[in-house]
Amino acid sequence: MNFQQLRIIREAVRQDFNLTEVANALFTSQPGVSKHIRDLEEEIGVELFIRKGKRLLGLTPPGKELVPVVERILRDTQNLKTIADQFASNEHGNLTIATTHTQARYALPEVIKQFKQRYPKVHLTLHQGGPTEIAEMLVQGIADVGIATEVLHVSPALAAFPSYSWHHAVIVPHDHPLNAVQDLTLEAIAAYPIITYNEGYTGRAQIDRAFAQADLHPDFVLSAIDADVIKTYVEVGLGIGVIASMAFNPAKDTGLKLLNADHLFEKNTTYIAVHRGTFLREYAHQFALMLAPEIDESALRAAAESV
């Protein structure tokens, strides 16, 4: 048994059992991949993959049990290197953050500025994606921490901690009739075409839920991933916008007005997530604490260390 064999097993699952792709992903030859798999199967005495003719289709029952152990071994080898790097220097290294546009654009800049002041030599990488992609990046070990409002609880392999809370707000052009309304209601909003986030992004589920509970069916005329796009279309008069309030900048968004809607939509909570069993560098840990100061530090360590 060797590590290359284990990497191949893990990659085979990730590449949907296409060994040619596995070979590409691991920068090796395809026949070598085949041989490694057969060697390992022979060594441990069970077939890991279901085969139909020459193709691999999936995992056998033993394969299903063994793959998580393989993944843990490989994660631990990664941890070995990470811990060693930690001792080599607390100040340099890489930190990869997977997050959504909204967080990257409006919530993170302040924290990242602060982080860079403390750790100027740490190289930061920001990966952007939807919630499921963020979760996947954590699971695959591509990203160290993930930040999103939506379901980062999906996989039990992830540990999520609340970072901060915020509300949606309504944005309208300056000359819009809603500007005159005193107490904003869902009914009043639902009377106009609405531009807001895509499903699965930035608390969209909360927005839908609020209207559904009020038995309202507004016209979602356009949806987008980010507030900048939404604001643009509100400005051109396509409808009113519902965005995260922090995405409104009075200094820059001069053509628009922000209407408070805290009482209309449920509070949203943005979470910071890490992958259980993956060692966190000291600075990654500090980054998490900067973003969520009230996080239970020992819980974070525990999440990162146990499986």
Partner DNA sequence: TATCCTTACGGAATTCGTAAGCATG
Partner DNA sequence: CATGCTTACGAATTCCGTAAGGATA
Task: Using CB under 8 A, pick the residue from 28, 79, 90, 114 that binds a copy of itself.
Answer: 79
C-beta of residue 244 within 8 angstroms of C-beta of residue 163: no
**Residue 55 binds which of a copy of itself, DNA, none (CB < 5-8 A, kind-dependent):** DNA
Q: Which residues pair with 159 in a beta bridge?
A: 274
Q: How far is the CB of 41 from DNA (least distance, A)?
A: 10
CA–CA distance, 168 with 246 (Å, rounded to integer): 9
- Specify the amino acid at residue 139: V
Does 94 sit near a copy of itself (CB under 8 A)?
A: no
Sheet holding 168-173: strands in order across?
220-224, 194-197, 240-244, 168-173, 256-260
Selected binder of a copy of itself within 72, 121, 174, 301 (CB under 8 A)? 72
Nearer to DNA, 55 or 174 (CB): 55
61's contact among a copy of itself, DNA, none, with CB below 5 to 8 A by partner kind, is a copy of itself
143 phi/psi in degrees, rounded to 5: -115, 150
CA distance 78 to 82: 6
- Residue 87 makes CB contacts below 8 A (sequence gap 6+) with none
Which CB sits closer to a copy of itself, 204 or 276? 276
Task: Compose the 22-61 pattern: x for residues touching a copy of itself by CB under 8 A, - for all others.
Answer: ----------------------xxx--------------x
Q: Give yes or no for residue 302 binding a copy of itself (CB under 8 A).
A: no
Residue 299 binds a copy of itself, judged by CB under 8 A: no
Mapping DSSP to helix (H, G, I), strand (E, B) and coil, where does residue 296 land? coil
User: Per CB under 8 A, which of residues 146..205 are in contact with a copy of itself?
Assistant: none
**Which of 203, 173, 195, 184 lies closest to 107 in space, CA to CA?**
203
Give the strand pairing for 122-128 and 93-99. parallel
Nearest in space to 150 (alpha carbons), one of 201, 212, 225: 201
> Under the criterion CB under 8 A, does residue 209 sit at the interface with a copy of itself?
no
To DNA, the closest distance from the beta carbon of 4 in angstroms equals 5
Q: Applying CB under 8 A, does 77 fall inside the site for a copy of itself? A: yes
Are 1 and 74 in contact, with CB atoms under 8 Å apart? Answer: no
Of residues 40 and 291, the one with the C-beta less far from a copy of itself: 40
Residues that bind DNA (CB under 7 A): 2, 4, 17-20, 27-32, 34-39, 51-56
Q: Is 62 in the site for a copy of itself (CB under 8 A)?
A: yes
Residue 39 touches which member of a copy of itself, DNA, none, C-beta under 5-8 Å by kind:
DNA
3-class DSSP state of 129: coil
Rounded Cα distance, 51 and 18, in Å: 12
- Residues in contact with a copy of itself, counted by CB under 8 A, come to a total of 27
Measured distance CA(154)–CA(303) in Å, rounded = 16
Give whichever of 117 and 306 is closer to a copy of itself, judged by the CB atom. Answer: 306
Out of 20, 31, 51, 88, the residue judged to bind a copy of itself by CB under 8 A: 88
Residue 243 and residue 245: Cα distance in Å, rounded? 6
* Partner in contact with 30, chosen from a copy of itself, DNA, none, beta carbon below 5 to 8 Å by kind: DNA
Between 2 and 94, name the residue whose CB sits nearer to DNA. Answer: 2
